[in-house]
Amino acid sequence: MKNKISTLQIFSLCWQLILSVDIGIISYISLISVKQDGWISVIIAGILGLIPVFLYLYLMNYRPEMNFTELNEHLFGKVGGKILNTIVALLIAFCVMLYFNNLNNFITSQYLHKTPTLFGIIIFSIPVIYLLNQGLTTIGRTSFILFVFGLMLLFLTLIGLIGQVDLNNFMPIMEHDFSDLSSTAIKIVPYTAFALILLLCIPKKDIIDSQKLNKRIIVAYIASFVTVLSALFFIVGVLGPELAQLYQYPEFHVLKRISIGGFIERVESTLSLRWIFYIFTTLVFGLYFIKKYIQTTFKIKKEKNLNIISSIVSIILLISCNWLFSSNTQSNMMTLNVIPVFLYVVNLGVILLMVIRTKTKKY
């Protein structure tokens, strides 16, 4: 049972994988590109994102006994499959570094101003590596626990902010034309699509009550996008688009406005823990994808050897994130203009190739 996971845990994974790109990425892209009209772009992105979601579900149901790397080798042969798997694994490795860099910047800028960045990276890497080596079942259970805590913090956030929204901050509506709104949505889609490709490392046969899989993934996807939309609604509604653009993490600064019952204040550090939960889950699962890639590609059968190798690779990736970008300005530019292109070309490109190949290859 070490590598079994329930669809309820899959639901919590989907939720956190998508919301992990909310802070510092989706909100940044939306506010910088189309200001108060960002909510429209998020809705468009949510609709467009259903396309890769259905492609993922198709591949998960095509050969239930195979994970992503095994399916690629089945479809394209040993050599072709390994090449495609390596390309995707390298992209995921880069995205793990990007997410960890985003998390580390958030923690050091909002919590630990005087703490050396490398120290924070090392401390945070310990639970990530530990959980990675515990197996899929433990990852799923931990993800669900963090999901529940995150949901509680989300409800407290909604209660604290609902009375502070100024609808005038959304005026004028449709200030930007449809081409701007759609181009912003197109930049958002690959981030959410990348997150869910990680689910393909789980063979459907390892999912308990798998008959509920499709429904729960779709519901989780819709629910997470509604949450992203509500986050953007409160950022713009409370701070205003001009002020929100000035902050690297407007999601955190809007929490400073929370007052519950008139006496519960200054709770932003506690309420923002849910973002740390989301990114933590994504880091662990991204590294788990790489672990399964290593296992399949190099035919490693002993679990002890696999854990040692995957731990070393994970440590290298997590520590290297400190030197991923020379500055936050470069990081923001890459996030807005460069990384979405690579995610489209590699992520969605490989998925489309796989789907096309399933139509031409005998089962």
Mean pLDDT of residues grouped by 10 in the chain (363 residues)? 86 92 83 90 93 94 94 94 94 89 77 71 86 91 94 88 87 87 91 86 92 94 92 90 85 78 63 87 94 93 92 90 71 78 87 93 69
Which domain CATH number covers 136?
1.20.1740.10
DSSP one-letter code for 5: E
Task: Give CA–CA dist 293/206, Å, rounded.
Answer: 17
Q: What is the pLDDT of residue 306?
A: 94
Count of domains forming the chain:
1
Q: What is the pLDDT of residue 99?
A: 85
Alpha helices in the chain (DSSP H): 7-19, 27-34, 38-48, 50-62, 68-110, 117-132, 136-161, 178-197, 213-234, 241-246, 250-255, 268-271, 273-297, 303-320, 328-333, 339-342, 349-360
Segments forming the whole domain that contains residue 120: 5-360
pTM to 2 decimal places: 0.92
Which DSSP helix (H) or strand (E) runs through 208?
A: strand 207-208
Q: What is the pLDDT of residue 1?
A: 54
DSSP 38-100: HHHHHHHHHHHTHHHHHHHHHHHHHSTT--HHHHHHHHHHHHHHHHHHHHHHHHHHHHHHHHH
Q: What is the pLDDT of residue 363?
A: 60
The C-alpha angle with vertex 282 and arms to 281 and 286, in degrees rounded to 5, equals 120
190 Cβ neighbours under 8 A, 6+ residues apart: 339, 340, 343, 344, 347, 348
